[in-house]
Amino acid sequence: MGSEGKTAPPKVVCGDAGYVLEDVPHLADYLPDLPTYPNPLQNNPAYSVVKQYFVNADDTVAQKIVVHKDSPRGTHFRRAGPRQRVYFESDEVHACIVTCGGLCPGLNTVIREIVCGLYDMYGVRKIIGIDGGYRGFYSCNTIDLTPKSVNDIHKRGGTILGTSRGGHDTSKIVDSIEDRGVNQVYIIGGDGTQKGASVIFEEIQRRGLKVAVAGIPKTIDNDIVVIDKSFGFDTAVEEAQRAINAAHVEAESVENGIGVVKLMGRNSGFIAMYATLASRDVDCCLIPESPFHMEGKGGLLAFIERRLKENGHMVIVVAEGAGQELITESMRSMEHQDASGNKLLLDVGLWLSHKIKDHFARNQKMAINLKYIDPTYMIRAVPSNASDNVYCTLLAHSALHGTMAGYTGFTVGPVNGRHAYIPFHRITEKQNKVVITDRMWARLLSSTNQPSFISQKDIEDAKKEDEPPTQLSDKENSHGVGVDFDTSAN
């Protein structure tokens, strides 16, 4: 089937005034003679009345929206949405959906909306779910998915398909795709999953198969670059408020009360930062991007003493990846990894709680009353909130419009509020991190009045970096927290 060849280089198109399109692959790139069909949406009673429903073939989305008079137009991505012509007939499509990596609110909503979208908009009838992440591709069990079977799943946390870490064997996965006759693969997962999706796509292309591969970015940590934010993040921040409120109530009810709340965030502290900014009850927020120290003037312990003297209580929010180097210094280093190769973290919340208790007990300066709350999995296991549900729907629709139109090897997501198809390599080349020399972290520091722990070297390093901004980093181009999604064309 088709011509077998090497992996194609990234598709980059340059235009006038510094315009660059970082395009995504298309089935026609390696299968040039594929037939096309009119998009069945043009006869769909709900959608046919929409003015300009189909996306113009040349529409692209700018990565940078704040520009200066003379600045080049910069990087663009192909705009997501339905096309006039599609590369699959309805009864030809055999789609599969897989969820990988850690849980995240909204996984079930994305699954539901892919199934219902393919059924209702494109008349697709063959959709299966892969059981338990990538390794499910080489088990016999698959789950038949219909609008009826997925009808209520968005009200539940987790993923009805199950998930796993590790177990990615590219050629076995593609063998399974080929053997089952699957021709559209929807892969929902984080940075690790998108790396896996990228190599699956490359192998499919190498074998010359008419199989479209779409990635839907999932990460509660919001550590995926380029896109405005990831689904489930808002829900997580909202759910974290309950834990912070509990910590605050406990802390202010006793003399010298300290509430320590640990939140998720392996390498990126977005949940902790936004939960802190939203709550206003937090006195100190510790994230992986901002190394801190305990002892001495300007250290965390001195700050705690000061805040307790001023207010009589305090709340500390700590992201799970914060202070790892401090813990490994004081314990024997344990370099363990999970099945996907992610570093296993030491419990910073417990460590911090012991350190604080020990400090006040040793110095006998004041009696403290510390409560440690670890709501991490409770925050991850809840169903998505209303706004994440709508966002998940748009992601699912953008993904299936893309595959029906023959695009492949892409991740879908909002870039400056407009959904775009982004090549895998742009999503997987680095992680999205809180930039501690940006305005958003400054807002946090000013709201908590905690020590910044930022050294002159951090400031110099940040100045040297000249990278395109990401949305939540609140650099020049970002929207900050709120992203107004244009729902009209997704």
Ligand X SMILES: Nc1ncnc2c1ncn2[C@@H]1O[C@H](COP(=O)(O)OP(=O)(O)O)[C@@H](O)[C@H]1O
Ligand Y SMILES: O=P(O)(O)OC[C@H]1O[C@](O)(COP(=O)(O)O)[C@@H](O)[C@@H]1O
Enumerate the active-site residues: 221
Closest residue to ligand Y, judged by C-beta, is: 102
The residue among 60 and 163 lying less far from Mg ion, judged by its C-beta, is: 163
Q: How far is the CB of 341 from ligand X (least distance, A)?
A: 6
The answer to whether the beta carbons of residues 219 and 411 sit under 8 Å apart is no
Backbone CA torsion sign across 261, 217, 433, 64? negative
Of the candidates 212, 186, 31, 176, the residue with the CA atom closest to the CA atom of residue 110: 186
Asked if 251 touches ligand Y (CB under 6 A), the answer is no
User: What is the C-alpha to C-alpha distance for residues 13 and 15, in angstroms, rounded to an integer?
Assistant: 7
Residues listed for the chain: 490
Query: What's the rounded Cα separation, in Å, for the pair 101 and 187?
Result: 11
Residues 87-106, mask of contacts with ligand Y (x by CB under 6 A): --------------xx----
Which partner, ligand X, Mg ion, ligand Y, none, binds residue 40 by CB below 5 to 8 Å per kind? none
Strands 410-415 and 184-189: unpaired
Q: How many CB atoms are located within 10 Å of the residue 89 CB?
A: 13
221 carries a ligand binding annotation: yes
As measured in angstroms, the least distance from the Cβ of 288 to ligand Y is 10
CB of 200 to ligand X, least distance (A): 8
- Residue number with CB closer to ligand X (169 or 252): 169
Q: Which stretch binds ligand Y (CB under 6 A): 18-26, 214-222, 405-413, 456-464?
A: 214-222
Q: Are strands 85-86 and 37-38 parallel, antiparallel or unpaired?
A: antiparallel
Measured CA to CA, the distance from residue 263 to residue 266 in angstroms comes to 9
Q: Is 192 part of any known ligand binding site?
A: yes
Q: Provide, rounded to whole angstroms, the least separation between the CB of residue 238 and ligand Y.
A: 16
Q: Are 241 and 275 in contact (CB under 8 A)?
A: yes
461 is in an annotated binding site: no
Q: Which stretch binds ligand X (CB under 6 A): 61-69, 192-200, 357-365, 439-447?
A: 192-200
> Of 435-454, which residues contact ligand X (CB under 6 A)?
none
Burial (0-12, 13-18, 19+ Cβ within 10 Å), 36 = middle
* Angle (CA) 107 386 235, round 5°: 60
Q: Given candidates 25, 81, 196, 321, which one binds ligand X under the rule CB under 6 A? A: 196
Q: Does 190 sit near ligand X (CB under 6 A)?
A: yes
Q: DSSP class of residue 43? A: G
Stretch that binds ligand X, among 53-61, 159-167, 229-237, 347-355 (CB under 6 A): 159-167
Instruction: Kindly state the smallest distance separating residue 194's Cβ from ligand X, in Å.
Output: 7
Asked if 320 touches Mg ion (CB under 5 A), the answer is no
Tell me which amino acid residue 365 is: K
> Does 191 help bind ligand X (rule: CB under 6 A)?
yes
Tokens 């007939």 sit on residue: 89
CB 193 → Mg ion: shortest distance, Å?
A: 8
Annotated ligand binding at 7? The verdict is no
Give the pairing type, strands 74-79 and 94-99: unpaired
Q: Figure out which of the listed residues 116, 173, 200, 264 binds ligand Y, where binding follows CB under 6 A.
A: 264
Among positions 330-349, residues that touch ligand X (CB under 6 A) are 340, 342
Residue 413 marked ligand-binding: no
Helix, strand counts (H, E) of the chain: 14, 17
- Which amino acid is present at 140? C
DSSP state of 283: S
Q: Which does 116 bind (CB under 5 to 8 A by kind): ligand X, Mg ion, ligand Y, none?
A: none
Neighbours of 115 (CB within 10 A): 26
Binding piece for ligand X, criterion CB under 6 A, among 48-56, 95-103, 437-445, 471-479: 95-103
Give the C-alpha distances (Å, rounded to integers) separating 137 from 15, 99, 158, 175, 208: 41, 11, 19, 9, 20
> What b/e sequence results for 242-280 when a residue is b if at least 16 CB atoms lie within 10 Å of its CB, and e otherwise?
ebbebbbebbeeeebbbbbbbbbbbbbbbbbbbbbbebe
Hey, what amino acid is at 369?
A: N
What are the residues whose beta carbons fall under 8 Å from the beta carbon of 388, sequence distance 6 or more? 105, 106, 109, 231, 232, 233, 234, 235
Binder among 195, 380, 397, 401 for ligand X (CB under 6 A): 195
Query: Which residues 316-345 are close enough to bind ligand Y by CB under 6 A?
Result: 320, 338
Both structure tokens of 282:
């937090």
Our CB check for ligand X shows the closer of 87 and 231 to be 231
Q: Single out the segment in contact with ligand Y by CB under 6 A; choices: 177-185, 216-224, 468-476, 479-487.
A: 216-224
Name which of residues 187 to 216 contact Mg ion (CB under 5 A): 190-192
Q: Which residues bind Mg ion (CB under 5 A)?
A: 190-192
> Where do contacts with ligand X occur on this chain (CB under 6 A)?
100-102, 133-134, 164-168, 189-193, 195-196, 199, 219, 340, 342
Binding region:
102, 165-166, 190-193, 219-221, 264-266, 320, 377-380
What residues are designated binding site for Mg(2+)? 191
Binding-site annotation, residues for substrate = 219-221, 264-266, 320, 377-380
Which stretches of the chain bind ligand Y, using CB under 6 A? Answer: 101-102, 190, 192, 219-221, 264-266, 320, 338, 380
